[in-house]
């Protein structure tokens, strides 16, 4: 099978999902055959310690469309997606969770939506079957991410998504960036859409992400937004902050100096500390910005520019 004949790659990261894999494989096969698709199923074992790996091994024996990539230890969902993306050969790439919470029956709808002219279509778990401890923080997370990134999506971190091949080849997913794939794609100039999808309660096994996920999510969001707006012009960020700090500091010191010339002792005024702090931090922020500018200049020489839009048109369409 060469790259051009595969319509669809489904990338499925899994960690200890022994209870779901056989049924998932069956349902995916039903959907893809009903659609008459030329497809491959890429299972990425993210360091499972249960029977998951041998189950997929067995599936592989009877189904040549199954591929298995195995990590020796748990590397995280982002790493699993990255490897799945790099191995995928399909013109379109679908990602989905392995726990049967995402529904393979949505794949034809995702393909149809993508064909309306998007490069990435993200699932939206409109009716979500998860405990409130997960859904509530998730709502806040989605609102903040949407507001700060300027992308109007309801559900950034849905496991079920479809991409054009160009997107998966270009995105670099590491750390925990899988939560922000639509933001990353948008930053690269791809067209991002959304489609409400069915979501099911988890029947087998348990969730792999605890409450820390939300704190981690906001750290990653800060990094991303900084990158999105200032990576090529860091002095605009540090310089603005530095100027404000410097101005406040100089203002205070100027005011105190004026008093000193009129004979007022200023050594015991608490505001003096604030003034000095303002000047010192201002200068530091400025120099930090200048240093960052030098790094940005260096990396601009080695980073290729964004690909032109025309490259992304005229995609091979699914039959």
Binding residues for Mg ion, per CB under 5 A?
A: 97, 99, 101
Q: How far is the CB of 236 from ligand UDP (least distance, A)?
A: 36
Q: How far is CA 152 from CA 122, 144, 243, in A?
A: 11, 11, 33
Distance CA 289, CA 282 (A): 11
| Euclidean distance between CA atoms 101 and 97, whole angstroms | 7
If binding is defined by CB under 6 A, does position 18 make contact with ligand UDP? no
Please pick, from the candidates 11, 14, 56, 67, the single residue that binds ligand UDP as defined by CB under 6 A: 14
Of 176 and 293, nearer to ligand UDP (C-beta) is: 176
Residue 209 interacts, among ligand UDP, Mg ion, none and using kind-specific CB cut-offs from 5 to 8 Å, with: ligand UDP
Return the ∠ at Cα 183 (arms to 315 and 108), rounded to 5°.
45
Is 46 or 220 the residue whose CB approaches ligand UDP more closely?
46
Rule CB under 6 A: say whether 76 interacts with ligand UDP: yes
**11 vs 318, which CB is nearer to ligand UDP?**
11
Residues 209-238 that bind ligand UDP (CB under 6 A): 209
Cα–Cα distance measured from residue 127 to residue 160, given in angstroms and rounded to the nearest whole number: 14
Binding mask 34-53 toward ligand UDP (x if CB under 6 A, else -) reads ------------x-------
Q: Does residue 207 bind ligand UDP (CB under 6 A)?
A: yes
Q: Determine how β-strand 161-164 pairs with β-strand 8-14.
A: unpaired
Q: Give DSSP secondary structure letters for 225-291.
A: HHHHHHTT-HHHHHHHHHHHHHHHHHHHHHHHHHHHHTT---TT-HHHHHHHHHHHHHHHHHHHHHH
User: Residues in the site for ligand UDP, rule: CB under 6 A?
Assistant: 13-15, 17, 46, 74, 76-77, 80, 97-99, 101, 159, 207-209
């Amino acid at each position: 099978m060469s790259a051009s004949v595969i319509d669809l790659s489904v990338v499925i990261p899994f960690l200890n999902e022994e209870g779901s894999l056989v049924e998932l494989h069956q349902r995916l096969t039903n959907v893809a055959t009903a659609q008459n698709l030329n497809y491959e199923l890429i299972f990425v074992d993210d360091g499972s310690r249960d029977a998951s790996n041998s189950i997929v091994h067995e599936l592989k024996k009877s189904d040549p469309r199954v591929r298995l990539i195995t990590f020796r230890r748990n590397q995280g969902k982002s790493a699993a997606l990255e490897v799945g993306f790099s191995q995928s050969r399909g013109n379109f790439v679908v990602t989905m969770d392995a726990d049967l919470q995402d529904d393979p029956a949505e794949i034809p709808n995702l393909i149809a939506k993508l064909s309306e002219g998007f490069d990435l279509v993200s699932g939206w778990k409109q009716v979500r079957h998860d405990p409130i401890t997960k859904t509530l923080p998730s709502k806040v997370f989605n609102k903040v991410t949407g507001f700060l990134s300027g992308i109007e999506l309801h559900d950034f971190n849905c496991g079920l998504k479809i991409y054009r091949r160009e997107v998966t080849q270009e995105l670099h997913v590491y750390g925990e960036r899988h939560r922000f794939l639509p933001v990353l794609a948008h930053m690269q100039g791809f067209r991002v859409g959304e489609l409400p999808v069915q979501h099911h309660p988890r029947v087998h096994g348990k969730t792999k992400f605890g409450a820390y996920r939300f704190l981690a999510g906001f750290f990653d969001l800060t990094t991303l937004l900084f990158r999105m707006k200032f990576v090529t012009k860091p002095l605009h960020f540090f310089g603005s902050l530095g100027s404000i700090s410097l101005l406040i500091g100089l203002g205070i010191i100027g005011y105190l100096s004026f008093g000193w010339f009129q004979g007022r002792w200023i050594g015991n005024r608490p505001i003096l500390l604030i003034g000095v702090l303002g000047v010192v931090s201002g200068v530091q922020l400025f120099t930090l910005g200048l240093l960052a500018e030098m790094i940005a200049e260096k990396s601009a020489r080695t980073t290729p520019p964004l690909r032109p839009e025309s490259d992304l048109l005229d995609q091979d369409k699914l039959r």
